[in-house]
Amino acid sequence: MPNKNILKIMKILKSHYSSTDKTTLNRMRKNPDAFKILISCLLSLRTQDKNTEIASRRLFEVADTPEEILKLPVKKLEKLIFSSGHYKKKARTLKHVSEIILKDYNGKVPDTREELMSIKGIGPKTANIVLAFAYGKNVLPIDTHCHRIPNRLGWVKTKTPESTELELGKILPKKYWKDFNAIFVQFGKEICVPISPKCSICPINEYCSKIGVKKRR
């Protein structure tokens, strides 16, 4: 039996956040280019959105196709994506992903989870972002916010984003899947932040179990 508060909570959050589509990746949904979405997602790992934005913009001014990224000297690529952090590792991943997409997929980003995840460097979150944002598929991309908040709400009791995706998939009505990531990322950045969430001004305070929340504002 699905948690009866899910519908209420989704309705409230949708009214607050559906139009605040601010993150770099979410903004790219409006003009989907699967390769650029994939590359931005890889750049966004373990960094803040503002850094992803700078690195993506600088890189795409010079190279925004697998061929162009492969042609870039590694040092130049590292310099272009420096602001995203872990730039040496990310440069290697970008080169590898571009090579496989060019060689094995004729330059087109694959549109199945299995194929995407068979490429070294692409994990479940990145695969789902590409499937949802570039190809409009009904999947649940789970990042740190999308993992933390459903656990606090008491919707799921999970230790990893992968198990959150699995458990959430069982209880969240499919009509909310498309917007779930955009809504929860914004909500997680503004109100239900990782440390000391702002419960006193939270629009879903009365429905939240606050599991694991020790300090709140």
Give contact residues for ligand SF4 (rule: CB under 6 A). 152-153, 191-192, 197-199, 202, 204-205, 208, 210, 213, 216
Q: What is the smallest separation between the CB atom of 179 and ligand SF4, expressed in angstroms?
A: 17
In whole angstroms, the minimum distance from the beta carbon of 22 to ligand SF4 comes to 19
As measured in angstroms, the least distance from the Cβ of 41 to ligand SF4 is 25
Nearest to 139 by CA among 161, 158, 154, 120: 161
Helices of type H across the chain: 5-17, 24-28, 34-44, 49-62, 66-71, 74-80, 87-104, 113-117, 124-129, 144-153, 161-171, 177-190
Distance, in Å, from the CA atom of 128 to the CA atom of 188, rounded to the nearest integer, reads 19
CA distance 178 to 204: 20
- Tokens 């980003």 belong to which residue? 109
Q: Which of 169, 165, 180 lies closest to 9, judged by CA?
A: 180
Nearer Cβ to ligand SF4 (113/152): 152
Tokens for 171, please give them.
């209880």
- CB-nearer residue toward ligand SF4: 96 or 152: 152
Considering the complex, state which of residue 117 and residue 199 has its C-beta at the smaller distance from ligand SF4.
Answer: 199
6/192 with CB nearer ligand SF4:
192
Q: Write down the least CB distance from residue 217 to ligand SF4, Å.
A: 9
